[in-house]
Structure 1
Amino acid sequence: MNKDQVKGTAEKVKGKVNEAVGRATDDPAKELKGDLQQEVGQTRNDVGNAKEAAKDAGKH
């Protein structure tokens, strides 16, 4: 697991929390922020996965 995967996962978790808080408090802006954080986190996680795959392919 590389730093992009870790940071991506952390960002997704923060996004889920913000989304849940936004729903619970009826705050659409907070909910949207959470959705966006989750997307950013997923993208960063995908970059990390691609790096890992490239590294693994280089070993073979």
Structure 2
Amino acid sequence: MNIDTIAGTTDQVKGQVKEGLGQATNDPVLQQDGLADQLTGTVRKGIGQVRDVAMKQPFATAAAVGVIGLAIINTLRGKKTY
């Protein structure tokens, strides 16, 4: 577990608390802030999980990045007009 995973979980919990307070006080701005924090937390937690997998399996990660890179290059090459 790395700092991104921990911070993402913290942001999710903070967002849930904000959303709950917004519902209790009927404050739509606080509810939206809570939902935004939850989304931020989910994304950051996902990034942390990807980093964990990359650290545990560096060769598989390098292969996946290579395949994605080739796909991007081939897509860009196909889009050019001469």
State the Cα deviation string for residues 2-57 of structure 1 (Å, max 9, x = none): 00000000000000000000000000000000000000000000000000010111
Q: TM-score, normalised by structure 2?
A: 0.70
CA–CA distance in 2 between the matches of 1:59 and 1:10? 31
The aligned length equals 60
CA–CA distance in 1 between the matches of 2:25 and 2:58? 49
| AA at the equivalent of 2:10 | A
Could you tell me which residue of structure 1 aligns to residue 28 of structure 2? 28
Could you tell me which residue of structure 2 aligns to residue 7 of structure 1? 7
Q: TM-score, normalised by structure 1?
A: 0.95
More RCO (CA 8 Å, sep 6+): 1
1:49 matches 2:49: yes
CA–CA distance in 1 between the matches of 2:9 and 2:59? 26
Q: CA RMSD in A?
A: 1.4
CA–CA distance in 1 between the matches of 2:17 and 2:41? 13
Report percent identity of matched pairs. Answer: 35
Task: Mark the structure with the bigger radius of gyration.
Answer: 2
| AA at the equivalent of 1:14 | K
Report the alpha carbon displacement of residue 58 of structure 1 after superposing the two structures with TM. 2.1
| AA at the equivalent of 2:24 | A
